[in-house]
Amino acid sequence: MAVPVVDPERYPAQLEAKRTRISQRFAALSPPPLEVFASPASHYRMRCEFRVWHEGDDLFYAMFEVDPQDPKGKRVVRLDQYPVAGETINVLMPRLLEAIRDRPVLRRKLFQAEFLTTLSGEALVTLIYHRPLDATWEAEALWLQAHLGVSLIGRARKQRRVLDRDHVWECLIVDGTTLVYQQVENSFTQPNAEINRAMLGWARSATRDGRSGDLVELYCGNGNFTVALAGNFRRVLATEISRTSVASARVNLAANGIDNAVVARMSAEEFAEALAGERQGRRVTEMALDGYDFTTVLVDPPRAGLDAASCERLRDYPRVVYVSCNPETLFDNLQQLHDTHRIARFALFDQFPWTDHCECGVLLERR
């Protein structure tokens, strides 16, 4: 994988190429005109991770790309700055290395540095080591935390030392509404905050007439869409399998004063079985599924998309909001649903400029 080369003057052409590619790929499904949401051309990633490379007395951040002279090998690419990353990360990158360069306790066997930041400038830094972390390290790390003005976490084999807190708070203004999100270290969060804001605004617009029914959300993560869409529905039931994400989603619902949504720890497959009456147990009983009138389902699956059986179950819903990080699996799933649902809205979110990656949003309505 190549390290992205950022050239803001070329960004409009890059985005147009993506628009053309996606429009042509999905033309057979007769979608409406593609809505395109542009990213900032640089400094758009709120989270990044870098290897920390040691060469004698020198210390620098590194990423790896395929060596053109040896396709089976990789070469080290030194990074003193990284224009893909947000401004806060770029400020912290050199400050961190300068602070630890002459501090052996902090530097020794430091393997990786991870940055998690917000639009407002909050930052959480995780340092990962190939050695145990002891009280001496913690004392030095407390100094570093204060020196950088960040929250700091140390990781090593079977160790995780949280000095202050393990999360940041992101604040997004969507349609004039301020939404706050707890984002936990080492858990999935949307990396491009401005595109995330665009995605949430688009999803709110696509479901604005949903007050007469209820929303079921699969793969809800930390409640990213749940928080933004709750006001459009009578009730919301969101499901997620990750224990950490479920806990964070519940915190985010409370932080935003949302009282018409609940999050259940359950996989999408388990929920489908519960809805069909094929699964019983305490968790299913607590959901009280008989009290819901699901008119809309939102799915945001991993790159593999939905398997055929899960996709088939979407036919039961009058309206489907499908957010996809893989256009190819999205196309396959939409083909399967094409006889019962039409594409009412179609969006491209440029989550990762300077790569081939495309994030799409589709609103499906029953024919």
Q: What is the distance between the alpha carbons of residues 332 and 351, in angstroms, rounded to a whole number?
A: 21
Dihedral over Cα of 132, 136, 141, 144: its sign? negative
| DSSP secondary structure code for residue 7 in this structure | -
Q: What is the distance between the alpha carbons of residues 156 and 95, in angstroms, rounded to a whole number?
A: 22
Q: What is the distance between the alpha carbons of residues 301 and 335, in angstroms, rounded to a whole number?
A: 17
Q: What is the distance between the alpha carbons of residues 284 and 292, in angstroms, rounded to a whole number?
A: 13
> Which residue among 185, 270, 359, 360 is the active-site one?
359
Bridge partners, 171 (sequence order): 180
| 8 Å CB contact between 219 and 240 | yes
220 given a catalytic annotation: no
How far are the Cα atoms of 31, 201, 321, 334, 350 from residue 343, in angstroms, in the given order?
A: 5, 18, 10, 9, 20
Strand 294-299 and strand 319-324: the pairing is parallel
| 8 Å CB contact between 78 and 60 | yes
**H helices present in the chain, as ranges:** 11-25, 87-100, 104-107, 135-148, 193-206, 224-229, 243-255, 268-275, 282-287, 308-313, 327-337
194 given a catalytic annotation: no
Q: What are phi and psi of 10, to 5 degrees?
A: -90, -5
**Residue 104 structure tokens:** 């052996």
| Closest among 195, 189, 111 to 155, alpha carbons compared | 111
> Which residue among 48, 220, 325, 360 is the active-site one?
325
**Residue 37 structure tokens:** 């949401």
Q: Any idea which residues carry the catalytic annotation?
A: 325, 359
